[in-house]
A and B are shown apart, each in its own frame.
Chain A
Amino acid sequence: MVAPMVLAESVRKSFGMVEVLRGIDLEVAAGEVMVIIGPSGSGKSTFLRCINHLEKINSGRLSVDGELVGYREHGGKIFELKDREVCRKRAEIGIVFQHFNLFPHMTVLGNIIEAPVRVKGQEKTEAIANARRLLTQVGLADRETAYPAQLSGGQKQRIAIARALAMEPKLMLFDEPTSALDPELVGEVLDVMKQLAKAGMTMVVVTHEIGFAREVGDSLVFMDEGIIVERGHPKEIINSPKHERTRAFLSKVL
């Protein structure tokens, strides 16, 4: 049996006195596209950030591709990973943020080749060739010398996706990638994501785009107040939610 790409067992996370994740159990298989929906403040972003160790979990087990996130298990004991090892693990997971977070002082090409060259030690010529291929893939081959401020929101987000893909991640996390976009620009970003899903990328997508969940998602998770309320096949949950909270939420976003 292959290890799941993401495996969460009773994951808990608090900020001070407030418990934001209250026991998350969840499994994402390799090649699966999982969509997470839920009201604002329910802990979706926090959960994604835990997966690539931008936040430390307080209890439970969280592993990616069969290895614990942020720790190493050895002889029944758990050791914290060194900064260098944490960085190496993060490099294998791509994340796309709601607000793009492109590096404004670098050109589009600079943004994409930065991590492959500086973190992975890739040859610059190779990184550039790679970046150009990705730019074509996201439909922005002609913008490589532009600065982020000269791009539209949709273009920025497509560059952010290309930047994450340049590290050749085995898992891609999306945190509301279209929430900051004007409605007419949402489609171009979703198209790139659909294409990525079709190519077999394992993806965890937090979004309010129910259409995307229905069309592309292999599974759908509804989160509320730090717990998973309901999960299942997207079409089933969207058409006939079992829980009252899911129904109430869906009626608001549909």
Chain B
Amino acid sequence: MTQLGPARTTAPTPSAIRAVPVRHPGRWVAAAVLLVLIAMAVDAVVFARVKRGNSLQTRFGWHVVSQFFLSHEVLHGLIVTLELTVIAMAIGIAGGVLLAVMRLAINPIVRWVAWSYIWFFRGTPVLVQLLFWFNLSYVFPQISLGIPFGPSWINLNANSLITPFIAAFVGLGLNEAAYMSEIVRAGILSVDEGQTEAASALGMNRILLMRRVVLPQAMRVIIPPTGNETISMLKTSSLASVITVTELLYSVQLIYASTYQIVPMLLVASLWYLIVTSVLSVGQFYIERYFGRGSSHAQPLTPFQKFRKSIVTVHQAMPLPGPRDAGSPLAGRKER
């Protein structure tokens, strides 16, 4: 076992190639130009001051940004935005799975209903849909539960039932379901047919094999675009400002309506959107990793693992005192 080691280390190692590298003057010029542009932009955004009234202020009004960044109204708006995103995505995902399974159903009526839903909700602007839900009481003043075309047991006033917040998450969620269904469907279709076959051969019914075999595997295809949809929903939820939901954008709008500090307040909202989308992206990375388990592809390393690996490789790159048994290709192999 140890013969291999010394034989390897005594073999003459070819000397490293020392060649004059090709010069790339173009790269240096491009980098210099970009750096100058960045410096100008940073100066304009952060440092440069302009005269407003009788005081000298930063162009973007950073003192206003810091004044309102953690204010009660803004934080409340942020929470409403997060609530809207979570609830709308929950409706979107649940509805999307349902629609996707319906589109793959055997019953043609079921397939047609799902197709029509998707056609309608993808074919009209989400802003129009939100306005529609907001004004639902105009079309259906009363909402009743009862026998179709028969007597009704419960009568509700639509105007008090459908608050702007409910109209917003219903509108955003139902619209999202149409998009999610396409994502889920692509995921389901990506799973090898042999999987369904093996599961049926073991006696699993359609629901069980969907839940236990197909959907968990479809997740690997479904998760990345769903993460993008969530990030996109966070931003789309700002449309709810139009129907007077005090989410993040409408909250800052209410503030600048009285203070006239429009740009700084928009910056406050933008910074919060940026922070939350960054956090969501990190979460997406870990969820993708989880659903990739059992795959033959190597999992991407977490930042912590990358850090550890860089330390370990530094250790290994150092010259070793002698041949190590653990490094021999035969060590640790089991006899069969």
Contacts and interface: CB of A to CB of B under 8 A. Distances in A.
A118 B208 contact: yes
A118 B212 contact: yes
Interface stretch (B9-17, B190-198, B223-231, B252-260): B190-198
Given A105-B217, A119-B208, A147 B198 contact: no
Interface stretch (B56-64, B151-159, B199-207, B263-271): B199-207
B296 A115 contact: no
Contact of A149 (B195, B213, B294): B294
Contacts of B216: 105
Nearest to A120: B203
Nearest to B294: A147
B306 interface: no
Nearest to B211: A118
Contact of B201 (A54, A104, A118): A54
A147 B204 contact: no
Given A101-B195, A118-B208, A147-B294, A91 B217 contact: no
Interface residues of B, number: 22
A106 B203 contact: no
A105 B293 contact: yes
B71 interface: no
B295 interface: yes
Contacts of B203: 87-88, 90-92, 115, 119-120, 167
A157 interface: no
Nearest to A90: B203
A12 interface: no
Contacts, number: 71
Contacts of A106: 294
A101 B194 contact: yes
B196 to A, nearest CB: 9
Contact of A167 (B202, B293, B294, B296): B202
Interface string B108-120: 0000000000000
Given A101-B194, A105-B216, A118-B208, A148 B294 contact: yes
Contacts of B194: 97, 99, 101
B294 A90 contact: no
Contacts of B217: 103-105
A232 to B, nearest CB: 29
A72 B213 CA distance: 29
A144 B307 CA distance: 31
Contacts of B206: 83
A102 B195 CA distance: 7
Given A106-B294, A119-B208, A149-B295, A101 B197 contact: yes
Given A105-B216, A118-B212, A95 B293 contact: no
Contact of A115 (B195, B204, B294, B295): B204
Contacts of A114: 202, 212
A190 to B, nearest CB: 17
A156 to B, nearest CB: 12
A54 B198 CA distance: 10
A94 B200 CA distance: 11
Residue in A83, A87, A102 with the greatest tally of chain B CB atoms within 10 Å: A87
Interface residues of A, number: 32
Contacts of B208: 118-119
A193 B192 CA distance: 26
Contacts of A107: 294
A5 B319 CA distance: 68
Contact of B202 (A83, A90, A148): A90
A163 interface: yes
A107 B216 CA distance: 13
A252 interface: no
B191 to A, nearest CB: 10
A84 interface: yes
A97 B296 contact: no
A95 B293 CA distance: 26
B14 to A, nearest CB: 35
Contacts of A118: 204, 208, 212
A74 B221 CA distance: 47
A132 B212 CA distance: 22
Nearest to A104: B294
Contacts of A99: 194
A88 B200 CA distance: 10
A87 B204 contact: yes
Contacts of B197: 54, 97, 101
A178 interface: no
Contacts of B293: 105, 147
Contact of B198 (A101, A119, A149): A101
Given A54-B197, A101-B195, A148-B294, 4 more contacts: A87-B200, A94-B201, A105-B294, A147-B294
Give 6 nearest A-B pairs by CB, closest first: A91-B203, A101-B198, A115-B202, A101-B194, A149-B296, A147-B294
Interface of A: 52, 54, 83-84, 87-88, 90-95, 97, 99, 101-107, 114-115, 118-120, 147-149, 163-164, 167
13 contacts: A54-B200, A90-B203, A97-B198, A101-B192, A101-B194, A101-B197, A102-B198, A103-B213, A105-B216, A105-B294, A120-B203, A147-B294, A167-B202
